[in-house]
Structure 1
Amino acid sequence: MTTATETATATETATATETATATETATATETARAEWDAWREEAEQQRREPYGFLAYSALHFLDGEPGRVEGFPGRWATGEQGPIVELDEGESLTVDGEAVTGRHVFGPVREREFRRAASFGDVVVELSRRGGHDLLRSLDPRHPLRETYVRTPAFDYDPAWVIPAEFAPYSAPRPIEVAAAVDGIVHTHEAIGEAVFALDGAELRLILLRAEHLAGAGLILFTDATSGVTTYRASRRLITPLPVPGSMQLVLDFNRAGNLQCAYTPYAPCPLAPPQNRLTIPIEAGEQIPTFRPEPAETGEHPAS
């Protein structure tokens, strides 16, 4: 028979345990929220950098015929030697700290390389290669988009959107083609497996791409029922650490679903979500539609002529 003292002691123990558990949960949530705040601040600082992606002011496809490109000195083309510029008398570029005149060969550009190749005045010339196309872009720290940028809104942090998942790796990484935010480009990425998780009673499987510039991480490009309503319509991205050896467990923190560059500028040929990653349920977490996105009258997304 249980005495009143034993019952009281058991009740006190259970209450103390519940209180300790609640305190630990609250502390963990506060820590996670602080880490999320830091993630948000880091993203905002990167966007405000003088030569961050908000400074992109033009994008042009290069082809084999040398041609003038509005806003750039010289005539530009590309070929087996990579991008080439032919500068007329009185024109120059700065390359590696030295003034360059006449004809200059920049050399082949690797797929998805970002090469800050030259400058003129305060403007930086970037060469890149996307979907087999050599691209010419300019970065101007005085671009109106950067100068008028305001903080990107986001859903408030919610621990309910930190979702456990299982990593289902493919037997071998496989190439996957995905569309781009700029017409005429198709990206090829390496798919390494799928993130399998349950939401609203349904099993969902999102394709994981290798995050090329982050060792041990996977990239998920996705849309959901909020896309085009409260979040950027074309795609958002989620970076997640891959499981440690011997484990297949993932954590999908949708609070860190971030905007792609193309949410802000027409000069970013971002990869978009593959069909399998286009969800029909709402993911009410992460970054929302940017508050201000001016649309220029002419994007310059055409071959040089």
Structure 2
Amino acid sequence: MTAVGTDFERHWQAWHDQRETRLRDPLGVLSWIGLHWLDTDEQPVPGVPGRWRADGDTVVVTVDRLGELARDGRPLADSTVLRPAEGAPGLELTAGTRIAEVVRRTGKFAVRVHDPAAPALAHFAGIPAYRPDPRWAVLGFFEPYERSRTITTAAVLDGLEHRHAAAGTVVFRLDGAEYRLIAFGRPETGLSVLFTDATSGVTTYPAARRLELGTPAVDGGLTVDFNRALNLPCAFTDHATCPLAPAENRLPVAIEAGEQNPRTRAARTEYSR
């Protein structure tokens, strides 16, 4: 391997190690042990205290004893009204060592339970990935829309939708062929894409992978490095509500780079330290 290749792999390894460190967060994705949907009838949520119900655009939680649940360090008393934002990270209530995260998705409310003693955390053995290869890091160009567009995609759970602010398209070439992907985010703060390819559902997770593209240069140039294509939370847990890739971002070519499907044991043979 050339010195450039060795340096490339070293930088990728540092990125990969950081990814795995973040996944080991004791209250992160791997700590999720349940996603419980609420309706207008008061109900308990397994794993955390309180009685919960949806009420119009809010969630109402009632506790029986002071201190069973707390928000920002302050114990909840009696009934508390919560207003989680659509599609955003949830509002977090602490229940001992656990977290009750109240989320809103497509107008529906759910409580996601985080537990630092979750089996998925205890058994986490790393993220399977293809061996890094510079051939999958190519020059691309960002072509902005005149105005930002809203792209609606389905989700891994039936009946849910995600709405994304699309800033334009990223154009790049692989093996002489040109491809385009719709880019989400804002060019001044960073772009990303959700995509599938011919490996999706084979060695990589079928719903989508995400690739962060950063901020384009003045001429629109940026690096499209598929070695850093990463899994969404739904690849690791059934308690996620991740989006699917938009139809325009379903590449016909096999992108044999980036993170593989952690649910497929065979994928772990592709890369090891």
Q: TM-score, structure 2 length as denominator?
A: 0.89
Alpha-carbon distance in 1 for matches of 2:183, 2:92: 32
Alignment map for 1:4-19 (pairs within 5 Å): none
**Conserved 8 A contact 1:153-1:291:** no
| SS of residue paired to 1:83 | strand
Cα distance between partner residues in 1 of 2:96 and 2:264: 27
Alpha carbons 2:43, 2:51 under 8 Å: kept: yes
Displacement of 1:153 in angstroms is: 1.3
* Alignment match of 1:210 (pick from 177, 185, 190): 185
1:33 aligns with 2:9: yes
Are 1:147 and 2:122 matched, yes or no? yes
Could you tell me which of 54, 65, 74 is aligned with 2:50?
74
CA contact (8 A) 1:206 1:277 kept: yes
Q: Residue 195 of structure 1 aligns with which residue?
A: 170
Determine which of 109, 113, 124 is the counterpart of 1:138.
Answer: 113
Q: Which runs of 5+ in 2 are unaligned?
A: 266-273
The residue type equivalent to 1:277 in the other structure is N
CA offsets 1:68-107 (integer angstroms, 9 cap, x no match):
223332221233562211223688212332332321223x
Whether 1:276 and 2:245 are equivalent positions in the alignment is: no
CA contact (8 A) 1:182 1:269 kept: yes
Matched, 1:256 2:232: no
Corresponding residue for residue 55 of structure 1:
31
**Take 1:189 and 1:133, find their aligned partners in 2: how far apart are those partners?**
18
Which secondary structure state, in structure 2, belongs to the residue aligned with residue 181 of structure 1? coil
The answer to whether the 8 Å contact 1:130/1:185 transfers is yes
Quote the offset at 1:120 in angstroms.
1.6
Residue identity opposite 1:279 in structure 2: L
- 1:263 to partner: Cα distance: 0.3
Corresponding residue number in structure 1 for 2:76: 100
Contact kept in structure 2, 1:73 and 1:91, CA below 8 Å: no
Larger radius of gyration: 1
Greater fraction of residues in helix:
1
Question: Partners in 1 of 2:67 and 2:34 — Cα distance?
Answer: 19
Q: Distance in 2 between matches of 1:184 and 1:233?
A: 18
Query: Aligned partners of 2:67, 2:123: CA distance in 1, in Å?
Result: 31
By how many angstroms is 1:34 displaced? 1.8
**Counterpart for residue 11 of structure 1:** none
Alpha-carbon distance in structure 2 between the residues aligned to 1:215 and 1:77 = 40
The 1:215/1:64 distance shift into structure 2, 3 A limit, reads farther
For residues 203-240 of structure 1, the C-alpha deviation after alignment (integer angstroms, 9 at most, x for no partner) is 211111117xx962111111111111111111111000
Correspondent of 2:205 among 206, 219, 232: 232
Decide whether the 8 Å contact of 1:258 with 1:286 is kept in 2.
yes
Does the 8 Å contact 2:31/2:118 carry over to 1? Answer: yes
Match of 1:8 in 2: none
User: Offset at 1:129?
Assistant: 2.1
Normalised by the length of structure 1, the TM-score is 0.80
Distance 1:217 1:99 in 2: 38
- 1:150/1:291 contact within 8 Å kept: no
The number of equivalent residue pairs is: 265
Contact 1:60–1:136 (CA under 8 A) maintained in structure 2: yes
Q: Which amino acid aligns with 1:166?
A: F
Equivalent-residue separation in structure 2 for 1:238 and 1:162 (angstroms):
12
Task: Structure 1 unaligned segments of length 5 or more: list them.
Answer: 1-24, 294-305
Task: Name the structure where strand makes up a greater proportion of residues.
Answer: 2
C-alpha root-mean-square deviation of aligned residues, in Å? 2.2
Q: Percent identity?
A: 40
Q: Which amino acid in 2 is paired with 1:135?
A: A
| 81 and 199 in structure 1: CA distance in 2 versus 1, 3 angstrom threshold | closer
